[in-house]
Amino acid sequence: MLTPKARGALSAALFETMRSSDPRVVDVEPESADDAAIALWALFELHYRGFDDVEDGMEWHPALLTVRHRLAGDLERRLRERWAPYAVEGRTAAEIGSELFAYIEGHDGPSLARAVQSSADADQVLDLLRWRSVYHLKEADPTAWVVPRLGARAKAALMELQFDEYGNGDPERLHHRLWERGMEAVGLRADYGAYVDEAPLEALEQNNAMSLFGLSRALRGAALGHLAAFEATSSLPSRRMAQGLERLGMAPELVAYYTEHVEADAVHEQLAARDICGVLAQEEPALGPDVFFGAFTCLDLEDRFATHVLGLWEAAA
């Protein structure tokens, strides 16, 4: 993958310096939210698979870390401002798990899966798949960063969940591999990062929040709360997605990606809320509020993405 298209003065200057052998601190204000989001997305990407036009050694270059620190701090502040702090103290792991489920269930937002199930047309669904692919082509990777930061119980439970996401030892069963096969079967590109230039701001922010949480040890509570909300809002929507894709006569490989998640995420949500988040917040009570912050952020960013996409579909109707 090459560095993405710039979306303003900041990302243009940043990508230019990233591609050079001697990067400089870019001290340019973002021209827009899109400009800041694509810049941060690319800086985070240096920790994943990187870019063909940026040297691998740039991952820890201090000039680039300086820019990342500023943009990541801005993002975290913005995300925290949207959230109403929520305290959990003196609860058992099981109680925290149940409370987290109730918190997630109590959140009501627009549903893209419902629209795909009943009314979206094939072109609209293909657009949605392109935008979702920015994440699904590295599915589960942002959470992998959290593993070495946990105590034994939460770590073992997270590894059980991740092992499933990573195919239980079979490369053909990796969730991002299932996604690739689905994309290829409907004639879309499946190469890593293929559609990042088309991704709307709301999709970039979803990806950036996951990387921010995953890559910051201080935010490990938020990373795992995000995971719990993600898993707990996946099983039923995945069933709706599968039904919608079948309604549109789309390739069985793509339907299979979603049907896999109907079963898998019904198990993952239990692991994530009770055995991972519950245990973490019991063992490290100071992280309890951040578990809920992460869960809220997952739900809120999905609402924003869904509102954006449904707005486009309604405008076209």
CA distances from 150 to 96, 164, 175 (A): 17, 19, 24
176 scored as a contact of Fe ion (CB under 5 A): no
R_g over Cα of the chain: 19
Nearest distance in Å: CB 140, Fe ion: 6
| Structure tokens belonging to residue 251 | 């390739």
Q: Which is nearer to Fe ion, 231 or 300 (CB)?
A: 231
Q: Give CA–CA dist 291/280, Å, rounded.
A: 9
How many CB atoms sit inside 10 A of residue 87's CB?
8
∠ Cα 15 135 112 (to 5°): 125
Q: Which is nearer to Fe ion, 61 or 274 (CB)?
A: 274
Which of 268, 288, 290, 300: binder of Fe ion (CB under 5 A)? 268
Q: Which is nearer to Fe ion, 99 or 165 (CB)?
A: 165
Nearest distance in Å: CB 11, Fe ion: 30
138 scored as a contact of Fe ion (CB under 5 A): no
CA distances from 57 to 16, 43, 118 (A): 16, 13, 48
Nearest distance in Å: CB 88, Fe ion: 24
Q: Which is nearer to Fe ion, 265 or 275 (CB)?
A: 265
Q: Which residue has the tokens 């499933």?
A: 164
Asked whether the beta carbons of 59 and 50 are under 8 A apart, the reply is yes
175 scored as a contact of Fe ion (CB under 5 A): yes
Nearest distance in Å: CB 184, Fe ion: 18
Nearest distance in Å: CB 80, Fe ion: 26
Nearest distance in Å: CB 96, Fe ion: 20
Helices 62-82 and 288-316 cross at an angle (nearest 10°) of: 80
Lay out the site mask for Fe ion across 5-44 (x = CB under 5 A, - = otherwise).
----------------------------------------
Which of 99, 265, 269, 290: binder of Fe ion (CB under 5 A)? 265
Nearest distance in Å: CB 97, Fe ion: 16
Q: Which is nearer to Fe ion, 138 or 175 (CB)?
A: 175
Residues 149 to 168: which contact Fe ion by CB under 5 A? 165
45 scored as a contact of Fe ion (CB under 5 A): no
> Which residue number is nearest to Fe ion in terms of Cβ?
175
177 scored as a contact of Fe ion (CB under 5 A): no
Burial of 77 (0-12, 13-18, 19+ CB in 10 A): exposed
Q: Which is nearer to Fe ion, 90 or 169 (CB)?
A: 169
Q: Which is nearer to Fe ion, 165 or 180 (CB)?
A: 165
275 scored as a contact of Fe ion (CB under 5 A): no
Nearest distance in Å: CB 240, Fe ion: 16
CA-nearest of 295, 265, 285, 302 to 131 is: 302
269 scored as a contact of Fe ion (CB under 5 A): no
Lay out the site mask for Fe ion across 280-309 (x = CB under 5 A, - = otherwise).
------------------------------
Task: Say which DSSP state 46 is in.
Answer: T
∠ Cα 93 164 309 (to 5°): 90
How many CB atoms sit inside 10 A of residue 304's CB?
19
136 scored as a contact of Fe ion (CB under 5 A): no
Q: How far is CA 45 from the centre of its chain?
A: 13
Q: Give CA–CA dist 280/225, Å, rounded.
A: 10
CA-nearest of 180, 177, 185, 205 to 72 is: 205
Please report, as ranges, the residues that interact with Fe ion according to CB under 5 A.
Answer: 165, 175, 265, 268
